[in-house]
């Protein structure tokens, strides 16, 4: 049994910038400080998930399995036992030229998922929204800084080049 939530966010940056913010642990620390996954390279790798369940509480770590990893397209990970209780988070990026659409899914899996969702529905919805919004702010700010410093082509410069 799966219980899934979805948030779709439009971003004014290239898909590879969004993907890099998702997989780079240092970037994750800047936009998602209470939840970070590192130590993976390919699908089926196990990474380390560092997270805080509540603010101002001790940090915990757990092993996560990378379920899907397509550069500049998607990443998903799973933690727990798929039969009893697991969570899966998926980010899919659709490129639309200079813009991207981020599809952020959070699923609770297993026979205990209805109970877990009933107990944590509000927190999961808040997490999904705040995480997607924080990623959008981070990517948009990074894009603006890159254009201002000249490391990314501005709209006027791109028009002159064509």
pLDDT digits (tens, 9 = 90+) for 126-160: 888 888 899 999 998 877 766 666 655 544 444 44
The pLDDT, as a whole number, for residue 162 is: 42
pTM, two decimals, is: 0.79
Per-residue confidence (pLDDT) for residue 150, from 0 to 100: 66
Question: What is the structure's pLDDT at 42?
Answer: 79
End-to-end CA distance of the chain: 51
pLDDT in tens, 107-125: 989 999 889 888 888 888 8
**In what side-by-side order are the strands of the sheet with 46-51?**
2-11, 99-109, 85-96, 74-81, 60-70, 46-51, 35-38
Measured CA to CA, the distance from residue 86 to residue 78 in angstroms comes to 7
Q: What is the arithmetic mean of pLDDT over 12-33?
A: 87
Beta-carbon neighbour count of residue 19 at 10 Å? 23
- Where in 39-150 does DSSP place strands (E)? 46-51, 60-70, 74-81, 85-96, 99-109
- CA–CA separation, 29 and 15 (whole Å): 19
pLDDT of residue 158: 42
Per-residue pLDDT, 18: 92
Contact residues for 26 (Cβ-Cβ < 8 A; gap 6+): none
Q: How many Å apart are CA 83 and CA 86, to the nearest integer?
A: 8
pLDDT digits (tens, 9 = 90+) for 55-69: 667 778 888 899 999
Query: To which CATH superfamily is domain 2-161 assigned?
Result: START domain (3.30.530.20)
Average pLDDT, the chain: 82
Query: Residue 149's pLDDT is what?
Result: 67
Q: Where are the domains of the chain?
A: 2-161
pLDDT at residue number 55: 65
């Amino acid at each position: 049994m799966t219980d899934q939530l979805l948030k779709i966010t439009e971003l004014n940056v290239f898909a590879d910038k969004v993907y890099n913010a998702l997989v780079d642990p240092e970037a994750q620390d800047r936009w998602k400080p209470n939840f970070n996954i590192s130590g993976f390279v390919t699908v089926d790798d196990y990474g380390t998930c560092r997270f805080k369940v509540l603010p101002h509480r001790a940090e915990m770590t757990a092993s996560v399995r990378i379920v899907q990893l397509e550069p500049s397209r998607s990443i998903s990970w799973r933690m727990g036992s798929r039969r009893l209780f697991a969570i899966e988070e998926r980010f899919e990026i659709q490129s639309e030229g200079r813009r991207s659409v981020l599809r952020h899914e959070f699923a609770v899996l297993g026979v205990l998922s209805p109970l877990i969702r009933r107990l944590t529905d509000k927190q999961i919805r808040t997490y999904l929204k705040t995480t997607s919004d924080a990623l959008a702010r981070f990517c948009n700010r990074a894009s603006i800084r890159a254009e201002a410093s000249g490391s990314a082509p501005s709209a006027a410069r791109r028009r002159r080049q064509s």
